Structure 1
Amino acid sequence: MRNVKPILVLAVCTLLFGGLHATREQQEGPPVNDKQDDFCSIRNTTFQSGEVLAYNVYYSIIGIYVNAANATFTVNQERLNNRPVYHITGVGKTTSSLEWVSKVNDRFETFMDTGTLQPYKFVRNIQEDSYKKFETVTFNRNAGTAITNEGVYKVPGCVQDVVSALYFARNINFDKYKEGDKINFNMFLENEVYNMYIRYLGKENIKTRYGKFRAVKFKPLLIKGTVFEGGEKMTVWVSDDENRIPLRVESPLKVGTIKVDMMGYQNLRYPLSSLRSLR
């Protein structure tokens, strides 16, 4: 049962926080192309201050899914250094029934420019049993640097953190792309810049634990690590409406499978018109 701990941690802090957790085993991403320029010029048309999204994280090793953790995401509009920002907070906790295996209480935050959706600051506060880690990253756009607890690192002009990437990706206009197209972007994590991409897979109807939806389907590039095998193993479905909220995330692990379902929402910017029926 000791192997369950990293799986639960990654389920909460990785699958929902962009699905793009990276380790020191860096894998080369695709070369930058014109589609990344489109990604850098995206503006927010999907979410608003006050939005709350709630998720259940399920883990399976023998075909039976167990509710392993819960996560919530909140959006608030604030000011940081006299600049308007979206303060987005993601909190992940193991369920009480599994705290005897591993107790996780993790908090991730990003502060994004309301105009460009580029992050100014990223905060990670991890509490996993006796292990604790607090990290801040400050992005200096003028200098092209990211300042962390461990030093100063060069970053490109258009770069995301693991939380801002999720909300940035919600604003992709997938109608511009054909099935199989890749949309490239850069991510800063663990003091490294990673060349990432999302592969668009079209639209389909899905049934989740919440209900039946019209959905947009895509696969993000995963970085090879201790639990993920890397490559395009994860699948993400977002609502096929103006909100583009993540509805379901699925991914095989080296041991077992993870599934994440949206189970509640508040203060969406638009009606959830992609919902066809409740479960």
Structure 2
Amino acid sequence: MVRTFYLLIFLLTIHSGYGQCGVEQKVFRAGEKLTYKAYFNWNFIWLEAANVEFTVKQPANKRVYNLTSTGISLPKYDWLYKVRDTFRSQIDMETMLPYYYHRNTREGSYRVNNKYRFNYKDSLVYTNTNNSEFGSAIDTIAFPNCTFDVLSAIYYTRSLNFENKEPGQKIPITFFIGNELLDLYIRYLGKETITTRTGDIYRCVKFNIMLVEGTIFEGGEDMTVWATDDQNHMPVLVEAKIVLGKVKAYLTGYQNVKYPLNAWQGKED
């Protein structure tokens, strides 16, 4: 469930980087915290399944951001499918490119412990991955400019300017999953005003995402993302079709955002 949510969010990543990659300014800052509630569709019922959190910190006297995200299943479902996910990424404050990435996942019997170290001098990433389904591997992989890990991709994407995109336009994306470097795309769909499960109303930019066919997804453009149509570009709602049904994740809270939230239009009557 939470593994699905992270795929929903990070697939927003657009293949660009700082300067030559298209970002002029960051839309987040140290101290920002975003929280989400993930839901799973079972027949006609939407089940509240997990809490997800994203935080940004800046270590003293260092020119980096430490990004962290955690996903934890609700206690009442731990007996059925226990989830404890942690994602960490250390990125350069100016370029937003990652230096180090660590994913530690426990979802039921499924386990992942992946570590990446990025060498920009030689354009190589050193990976150390351990997966309960595929085993362990150590590898060295060449990567092109403007390539991100899962977590740094989220924050990098939020800092892009979407105003020059036309509805229907495809935008290429590049990211790492496990020991693979993948090139996919998103399709910009325009703007839409939505209401969340808590009754909050937001003006949003909207995308479809091309998914990788596998054990969770069937492949194709079956994921939709709504992000605030303001300078913060916070993901508000993410929805995807999966093999067993659908999953949704809603923004439930935010703290210390960099800009006033101009996309919020109040509560539903």
Structure 1 and Structure 2 fold alike (TM over 0.5): yes
- Structure 2 Cα separation of the partners of residues 252 and 184 of structure 1: 21
Alignment of 1:1-279 (within 5 A): 8-16=1-9, 18-19=10-11, 36=16, 40-78=21-59, 84-149=63-128, 150-210=138-198, 211-279=200-268
Q: 1:39 to 1:176 in 2, by over 3 A?
A: farther
Give a deviation string over 1:74-97, Cα, whole Å, max 9, x none. 011237xx8611211010011112
For 1:207 and 1:196, the matched residues in 2 are separated by 29
Gaps of 5+ in 1: 1-7, 22-31
CA contact (8 A) 1:42 1:117 kept: no
Q: Is the partner of 1:174 in helix, strand or coil?
A: coil
SS in 2 for 1:232: strand
Over 3 Å counting, the alpha-carbon distance change for 1:101 and 1:131 in structure 2 is: same
Residues 201, 219 of structure 1: 8 Å contact kept? yes
Evaluate the alpha carbon distance shift between residue 12 and residue 198 of structure 1 in structure 2; reply closer, same or farther with a 3 A threshold.
closer
How far residue 270 of structure 1 moved from its aligned partner, in angstroms, is: 1.1
Structure number with higher strand proportion: 2
CA deviations 1:125-155 (Å, max 9, x no partner) are: 1123455432210010111111011121111
Give distance in 2, aligned partners of 1:218 and 1:12.
16
TM-superposed deviation, 1:242: 1.0
- Give the partner amino acid of 2:50: A
The answer on whether the counterparts of 1:59 and 1:67 sit within 8 Å (CA) in structure 2 is yes
- Aligned to 2:4, what secondary structure does the other structure show? helix
2:253 counterpart letter in structure 1: G
State the SS of the aligned residue for 1:78: coil
Confirm or deny: 8 A CA contact 2:12 2:154 kept in the other structure: no
Change (3 A) 1:39 1:241: farther
Q: Please give the TM-score of this superposition, normalised by the length of structure 2.
A: 0.89
User: What SS does the corresponding residue of 2:82 show, helix, strand or coil?
Assistant: coil
Taking only aligned residues, the RMSD between alpha carbons, in angstroms, comes to: 2.2
Partner of 2:131: none
Cα 1:204/1:58, change in 2 over 3 Å? same
Task: Report how far residue 45 of structure 1 moved.
Answer: 2.8
Q: Which runs of 4+ in 1 moved over 3 A?
A: 35-39, 129-133
CA positional deviation for 1:196: 2.3
Note closer, same or farther for the CA distance 1:209–1:9 as it changes in structure 2 (3 Å cut).
closer
CA contact (8 A) 1:250 1:258 kept: yes
Separation in structure 1 between the aligned mates of residue 127 and residue 24 of structure 2, nearest angstrom: 27
Would the aligned equivalents of 2:70 and 2:87 in 1 still touch at CA under 8 Å?
yes
* Amino-acid identity (%): 39
Contact 1:43 1:116 in 2 (8 A): no
Identify the residue that residue 135 of structure 2 maps to in structure 1.
none
What is the SS of the residue equivalent to 1:165? helix
Is the deviation greater in 41-50 or in 159-168?
Answer: 41-50
Alignment: residue pair count:
257
